A = this chain, B = another copy of it.
């Protein structure tokens, strides 16, 4: 309610540059570029190398992938806290069957099992929100606990090894200097962006986020749209599970722990409004990148661990504050 007016209007009046700058994801982009430049100056030898750049991108890839789905969920005024434990549960599920069959199960089946488990969790979230009418926070909080438990039950608490080539390539391979993970991320982000902006279903997601009653009266199946966004996020969690298993060659029940808050932060820093109905899916990549570059920066500059935590908090606040102040002022 409180934070939603005026930006666009303000933007319209002035030139294209100002218009661009008024977009909420721009604060994050400027911060990102600033950090990048500062790091290039401070660590010219180790920071702006191809390797390091791809290391950074690979690291925030999972966050960016999940933030695409989280962005869509937040646009419908929802939230998904379960995403981390869904990763753990899906990774455990697929590899468990692989191990149980003494690794005789064809790769494609394992892949489908992992993606399927993620999607199933997403579907459960979606139905709880749309059909049962639970507040998304509560539905996904519950499913977070369930997912964690399922992962533990399947793995019995310790990692399941899984190391066929196909999955290693998927999670850890390179095409030229570019990690496969980064390519997967890029593809998902582009598809996500096109989906949100150029398909009817994408448009309907925004419509539901603007006003569910109005969407219903416009012939949009609101329940279906709500279910869909959680299913998408569940599927993406499955993709991340695949990438993680591929990267680590094992499925660990601690996979994904604590991701949810990072992912939500990335989406919001990237300009997705928590009041729903607006936001640019490309922005989430900027949000994820900003959080990703920070970790690398901390190591490059050898910031003490205790301070890292403080600085991370301040950056999250700072990145969104500028935009909030602007909106708040416009609303006066």
The copy count of this chain in the complex is 2
Answer yes or no: A152 CB below 8 A from chain B CBs: yes
A residues 112-132 near B (Cβ < 8 Å) are 128, 132
Q: Are B313 and A134 in contact (CB under 8 A)?
A: no
Stretch from A29-37, A137-145, A170-178, A186-194 at the B interface: A137-145
**Interface of chain A: mostly helix, strand, loop or mixed:** helix
Q: Which residues of B contact A324 (CB under 8 A)?
A: 132-135
Given known A133-B3, A133-B324, A325-B133, contact A139–B308 (CB-CB < 8 A): no
Given known A310-B150, A313-B146, A328-B132, contact A141–B261 (CB-CB < 8 A): yes
Q: Are B77 and A321 in contact (CB under 8 A)?
A: no
Answer yes or no: A306 CB below 8 A from chain B CBs: yes
Q: Are A310 and B145 in contact (CB under 8 A)?
A: yes
Q: Which residues of B contact A316 (CB under 8 A)?
A: 138, 141-142, 145
Which residue of the partner chain, among B147, B153, B313, contacts A142 with CB atoms under 8 Å? Answer: B313
Answer yes or no: A212 CB below 8 A from chain B CBs: yes
Answer yes or no: A17 CB below 8 A from chain B CBs: no
Q: Are B317 and A213 in contact (CB under 8 A)?
A: no
Answer yes or no: A51 CB below 8 A from chain B CBs: no
A residues 247-271 near B (Cβ < 8 Å) are 261, 264-265, 268
Besides the contacts A79-B137, A146-B309, what 13 more A-B pairs have beta carbons closer than 8 Å? A3-B133, A132-B328, A133-B328, A135-B274, A138-B316, A142-B313, A142-B314, A145-B316, A149-B308, A149-B309, A149-B310, A152-B305, A157-B306
